[in-house]
Amino acid sequence: MYRSAALSILVVVILSAAAYAQPARQPNPTDISGEWRLESDEDPGALGQSGQPPLGDYLGIPFNAAGRMRAETSAESIWETPEYECRPHTAPHQWRGLGGVRILKEQNPLTREVKAYHIQFMRSMDWPVYMDGRPHPPGYAPHLWNGFSTGEWSGNTLKITTTHLKDGYIRRGGPQTSDLYTQTDYLTRHGDILTIVTVTDDPVYLDEPFVQSTTYVADLNGTTVTEVCNGSSGENGGTDRHHVPHFLPGSNTAALTEWLKKEPWVPVEPTRGGVKTIYPEYKATLTGAGKPDSLTVPSSRTAVSPDKNRADQSPQDGEVHILPVQDNIYMLVADGTNVTASAGPQGVLVVNTGSAKMTEKLQAAVQQLASSLTAGKTNKCNGVDCPGTWGWASPFMNTVISSPDPPKPLRYIINTSVLPDNIGGNEKLAASGFYPRAAGLGSATGVGRTATVIAHENVLNRMSAPAGKQAPTPEKAWPTDTYFGEFYKLPEYFNGEAVIVYHEPAANTDGDSIVFFRHSEVISAGNIFSTVAYPVIDIEKGGSIQGVIDGLNHILDLAVAEYRGQGGTWVIPSHGRLSDTADVASYRNMLTMIRDRVQDSIKKGMTLEQVKASRPTVDFDGRYGSDTGSWTTSMFIEAVYNTLKEKK
């Protein structure tokens, strides 16, 4: 009996040892999928339904001067303008919005590895968090409301790293973010409790990352509904569809501290935010022991470089990067300058030709696109009934046994302005193109032996000179077809769609155009729009701040978001990342705010130097400004001031 029991125990021990001897399996991460109910948060007023913090409450936000200025001049109703009213909550606030959250797992059906988590809120897009190790996109890729997220497990905590975010708000009621911030979320499950710690790192508006925590509870009977956006026309009232709500600096000061009348025990200074006010050392200054200015706090600085982020959006690396946009359209980033290309069965059309030094590489990229249109494809059909059969049993036989058709030619060049980045490659690219027009091949005159170059006639006026005078550019670089009205339509479809060139008067110059590809739903915005710099306003060539704003408003009138203020019509800026309506609205809003500030200063009789000293762009300089280079913040302010002064 004892022997038998001893043997049994031995067998069990051996079997157990054998099991342990197998290769160790990765422990399964905690299952965070399911429905979760928002339990608590730390925002005053945001707990419960439809609450908002009071205007001017920046407690706990490590604002810098730019962030504070932006918060104090931003009206909450900016988020209810037509371009924004259907947006989701922006990332720093999303976890605190109403309606709970649903977390889904996307699994490989064979290995059952989690490829991605999908996080959904009542008012959100689907937010995928990729777990498969894929890299984040390049800097010139679009920014989204949810950004682009990757995740990794660290013990019991899922760390989500998000880049490519649109500008938004940290907290409702004023505190804003730039679009250069990154967000890191840490999700930890303890039983039925899910804790989310959110770190918002905005180098433009914050002196150090802003940390929030939010708690959810498993909700077995819950379901995260979708809030359908029934956008109404004109939530902000009035009939001006381009209305940009904002406050002039100093005009809303009393309102910012209105809430303190009911909470007089709260000192004013920490309600203005600032990194020093959120550390324990600050407490001593409230009783008069020391002054805030002399405080030293162990601030953890931002890990995000705004300069690098801007550089990544517009890489000046001497290369051409090709980004497919939508249907026929591609964005070619040529040493930091964007060229738009339409490539299809009728050939290639480019909007602008980049700087002269990039011409050869741009030509190579155009050739690459053109070749891709005629490259062979894998046989997907066998037999005489296959479409396109002309005698072979399969049309793909031609591809297999012979070389493909020659690349389609470059047929059109459209110049959106006379600025060097727009026309630098005209001469060589036009010469490489071909479009039979005017007398067929035009063998006698050379007409039709080049691509057609289209621009507003003021572009040609500035590139050419009357007979006998020296022209600033070679004749072979000049536009061959100009227009003078409000718009110019290519006389026939190109690559299966209408292409319309609109004149934007007195914008960067007097000859600016934007180009609308009507079926692909892409607008090439030219110099009117940039995501990395203030617009270059060349007053000598007829430019003005109002013309740029009008041009941006025109883009917003033409463009339509696909869903929740995102995607849909894509807009290619002269420099910077691929954008959509919300990004154009953000740029338009910034310029409108600066225009109104400078205009107000002019009304008060301030000189140019006084206006510059008042720093009317301080909340946007970290995003778009520059103290060096060919277009500085000082030059921009001067151009705004002078065009408004002239108007007056």
Chain positions contacting another protein, by CB under 8 A:
42-45, 47-55, 57, 59-60, 75-77, 172-174, 211, 213, 227, 230, 232-239, 243, 245-247, 251-252, 255, 258-259, 262-263, 265-266, 270, 278-280, 283, 298
CB of 92 to another protein, least distance (A): 15
> Which contacts qualify for 566-569: CB closer than 8 Å, 24 or more apart?
566/87, 566/125, 566/144, 566/145, 566/166, 567/142, 568/521, 569/521, 569/522, 569/523
| 135 vs 238, beta carbon nearer another protein | 238
Helix, strand, coil percent content, the chain, rounded in steps of 5: 30, 25, 50
| 153 vs 247, beta carbon nearer another protein | 247
220 by Cβ neighbours in 10 Å (0-12 / 13-18 / 19+) ranks as exposed
CA–CA separation, 354 vs 527, rounded Å?
12
- Which H or E run includes 587? helix 581-603
CB of 237 to another protein, least distance (A): 3
CB of 589 to another protein, least distance (A): 13
Name the nearest CA neighbour of 511 among 602, 406, 431, 414.
Answer: 414
| Tokens 């536009």 -> residue | 479
| 120 vs 482, beta carbon nearer another protein | 120
Q: CB within 8 A of 172, min separation 6: which ones?
A: 43, 46, 52, 53, 76, 93
User: Helical H runs in 305-417?
Assistant: 306-313, 359-374, 396-401
Q: Look up residue 420 and give its amino acid.
A: P
CB of 59 to another protein, least distance (A): 5
| 260 vs 356, beta carbon nearer another protein | 260
- Between strands 452-456 and 410-414, the pairing is parallel
CB of 250 to another protein, least distance (A): 13
CB of 380 to another protein, least distance (A): 47
CB of 640 to another protein, least distance (A): 21
Q: CB within 8 A of 560, min separation 6: which ones?
A: 521, 568, 569, 581
The 10 Å CB-count burial string (b at 16+, else e) for 319-352 is ebebbebbbbbbbbbbbbbbbbbbbbebbbbbbb
CB of 232 to another protein, least distance (A): 4
Name the nearest CA neighbour of 80 among 252, 225, 244, 248.
Answer: 244
| 45 vs 138, beta carbon nearer another protein | 45
CA–CA separation, 493 vs 411, rounded Å?
13
| 278 vs 413, beta carbon nearer another protein | 278
CB of 263 to another protein, least distance (A): 6
Q: Look up residue 305 and give its amino acid.
A: S
| 320 vs 590, beta carbon nearer another protein | 590
CB of 300 to another protein, least distance (A): 9
| 49 vs 470, beta carbon nearer another protein | 49
Name the nearest CA neighbour of 598 among 550, 545, 548.
Answer: 545
Question: From the CA atom positions of the chain, what is the Rg in Å?
Answer: 29
| 89 vs 164, beta carbon nearer another protein | 89
CB of 98 to another protein, least distance (A): 8
CB of 236 to another protein, least distance (A): 5
| 28 vs 223, beta carbon nearer another protein | 223
Q: CB within 8 A of 374, min separation 6: which ones?
A: 404, 405, 406, 407, 408
Cβ proximity of 174 and 55 under 8 Å: yes
| 11 vs 255, beta carbon nearer another protein | 255
CB of 76 to another protein, least distance (A): 4
Give me the torsion for CA of 299, 305, 307, 309, rounded to 10°.
Answer: -150
| 42 vs 317, beta carbon nearer another protein | 42
| 123 vs 411, beta carbon nearer another protein | 123
CA–CA separation, 343 vs 296, rounded Å?
58
| 246 vs 575, beta carbon nearer another protein | 246
| 59 vs 539, beta carbon nearer another protein | 59
3-class DSSP assignment, residue 518: coil
Q: How far is CA 328 from its chain centroid?
A: 21
126 by Cβ neighbours in 10 Å (0-12 / 13-18 / 19+) ranks as exposed
Q: Look up residue 188 and give its amino acid.
A: T
| Strands, E assignment, 548-621 | 570-575
CB of 214 to another protein, least distance (A): 12
Report the side by side order of strands in the sheet with 499-504: 487-489, 499-504, 512-517, 522-530, 570-575
CB of 239 to another protein, least distance (A): 5
CA–CA separation, 149 vs 185, rounded Å?
10
CA angle, residues 478, 484, 489, in degrees to nearest 5: 90
Dump the DSSP string for 152-195: EEETTEEEEEEESBPP-BSSTTS-B--SS-EEEEEEEEETTEEE
